[in-house]
Amino acid sequence: MRRVLRSSVLALATISAVVLSGCGGGAHVDDIFSAGGWPGMHADARNSDTSPVTGSRDISLAWSRPLGGPVANYASVAASGQIFLTARTEKGCNLFSFQMESGRKRWCRQLAPGVVASTPVVDGAANVYVGENGAMNSFNEHGQLRWRTPVVGTPLSAQFTGDGNLLFITQLGQISVLDPQTGQKVVASYDLIPPPSVADGANVDILPDDKGLSGCFFGSPDCPVANMPAIDLASGTFYFTFYAPGATEADLVAMKYSGGDNPTISQEWSSDTLPGGSASSPDLSADGSVVYINDNWGTVWAIDAATGDPKWSYDIGYAAAGSPSTSADGLIIPAGGLDGHLLALQDKGDHAELVWERKDLRHLGVPAQTAGSTGYSVVREGVDGLAVLTFDTSTGETLDQDTLPGAKGFTVGTSIGPEGEVLTPTLLGELFVLR
């Protein structure tokens, strides 16, 4: 079902806080992600989990290092090869930067514990943007703080907009767009859940900025927005899931950031199509016309990006524990899960076609596709071990398999470096790099 949204804060969202310099009427598209590397959680603005690098079909472990605590998100990689990663540590640093070649730590910082929920996003100058409890921060490539902007909640991973600004949503549903040079808001923050009004009285409890963070991975109602948005750079429309107060499941929502001299945030549509809701980030087709997303019952959905109407759905047989990887030509490889296996679907417009399936593999990772029809993900090896699988994305054929020494549980993301390096952190807190 498609619903047009309404909000008492829409008027506030039309007020420009800062006039953008150097921007016209919003026609200019500045794809900061095109700088190279793996700059954000899902690689690019459309959350494709793909890389233009031609992937190697013969890799081996280069190095690994423990981080001192669990990891919940991907490693991001600058075009220079500098790595950024967050972890939930008991003391000391929880934001890290490493050298790709050696694994040597370049710098680290201690932020509030909520930083574990945010994948650092990096621009072409290797400035990094990462959230923590109650704020979004920016550091330069040497780890020096550039700015810190207070917000309501904890920012999840951010996206760059078509006019070069930084857009993100906190788990409590506050949408902000910041100037990446100054950290100033370019438009008033938009609250999906309106703040208490005068009529509510003065004794309303203020929600802690980390409220519900622990439930984001499972799509709990305590975490209204559990994932990062996908954004169409040309139109400014962005897509995410939202667990509205009193709802029984999360909806898929489309909103629009206009950019230009008088930027606005406006609402497009909301769809309750997804059975059980979704805790994974949506991703866009290369032309921006289709939104792909998992529900929590084991189905991949293709949603019309303009209307919110379903185009097709496909039962993959298990609940995926992450977002799918979607190539420019519509090859969709879902993430693994507790009972997952590796498979690939092709978008045929009004239906999905199974291209290949590997039920002999227990798929526990999040896949990444590269040029040259080469993909990578993590599979079970032996009784409880893990290995990086290199596979042909057109056939599913195994090309290589490399043990992750001592790794247990499952991994939380697969990133590709500028020279084809493969990075994957485990939930228990160790980063593995293969090349």
- Worst-scoring range by mean pLDDT, 30-44, 180-194, 233-247, 348-362? 30-44
Residue 203 included in any domain: no
- Worst-scoring range by mean pLDDT, 37-46, 180-189, 208-217, 317-326? 208-217
DSSP characters over 199-252: GG-S-PPPPPTTTTGGGGGGT-TTSS--SPPEE-TTT-EEEEEE--TT-SSPEE
Residue 134 included in any domain: yes
User: Under DSSP, is residue 157 helix (H, G, I), strand (E, B) or coil?
Assistant: coil
Residue 244 included in any domain: yes
Cα 157 to Cα 41: distance, rounded to the nearest angstrom = 7
CB-neighbour burial class of residue 56 (10 A; exposed 0-12, middle 13-18, buried 19+) = buried
Cα 244 to Cα 99: distance, rounded to the nearest angstrom = 41
- pLDDT tens-digit series, residues 81-135: 999 999 999 999 999 999 999 999 999 999 999 999 999 999 999 999 999 999 9
Q: Which residues contact 195 (CB under 8 A, 6 or more apart)?
A: 152
Instruction: Find the mean pLDDT for residues 362-370.
Output: 96
Instruction: Give the H/E segment covering residue 10.
Output: helix 10-13
- Worst-scoring range by mean pLDDT, 69-73, 74-78, 198-202, 406-410? 198-202
Task: Report residue 2's pLDDT band, with 50, 70 and 90 as the boundaries.
Answer: very low
Identify the CATH number of the domain in which residue 42 sits: 2.130.10.10
The token duo for 363 is 């798929």
pLDDT of residue 204: 65
Cα 421 to Cα 413: distance, rounded to the nearest angstrom = 14
Residue 202 included in any domain: no
pLDDT of residue 3: 46
Task: Report residue 206's pLDDT band, with 50, 70 and 90 as the boundaries.
Answer: confident
Average pLDDT along the chain = 90
pLDDT at 24 exceeding the cut of 60? no
Residue 99 included in any domain: yes
Task: Report residue 203's pLDDT band, with 50, 70 and 90 as the boundaries.
Answer: low
pLDDT of residue 276: 82
The token duo for 97 is 């930067």
pLDDT at 155 exceeding the cut of 70? yes
Task: Report residue 275's pLDDT band, with 50, 70 and 90 as the boundaries.
Answer: confident
* Cβ–Cβ under 8 Å, residues 121 and 136: no
- pLDDT tens-digit series, residues 294-311: 998 999 999 999 999 999
* Cβ–Cβ under 8 Å, residues 238 and 255: yes
Task: Report residue 143's pLDDT band, with 50, 70 and 90 as the boundaries.
Answer: very high
Domain that holds residue 332: 2-18+29-195+208-434
Residue 24 included in any domain: no
Task: Report residue 150's pLDDT band, with 50, 70 and 90 as the boundaries.
Answer: very high
* Cβ–Cβ under 8 Å, residues 430 and 67: yes
In 10 A of CB 207, how many CB atoms?
14
Residue 200 included in any domain: no
pLDDT at 35 exceeding the cut of 80? no
- The answer to whether the Cα torsion of 307, 312, 317, 322 is positive or negative is negative
Establish how many alpha carbons lie within 13 A of residue 240's alpha carbon, considering only the half-sphere containing its beta carbon: 31
> Pick the residue with more confidence: 337 or 4?
337
Percentage, residues of the chain above pLDDT 70:
90
Which position has the token pair 């499952």? Answer: 410
In the chain, the number of structural domains is 1
Burial 359-396 (b: 16+ CB within 10 A, else e): eebbbbbbbbbbeebbbbbbbbbeeeebbbbbbebeeb
Cα 332 to Cα 105: distance, rounded to the nearest angstrom = 35
Residue 23 included in any domain: no
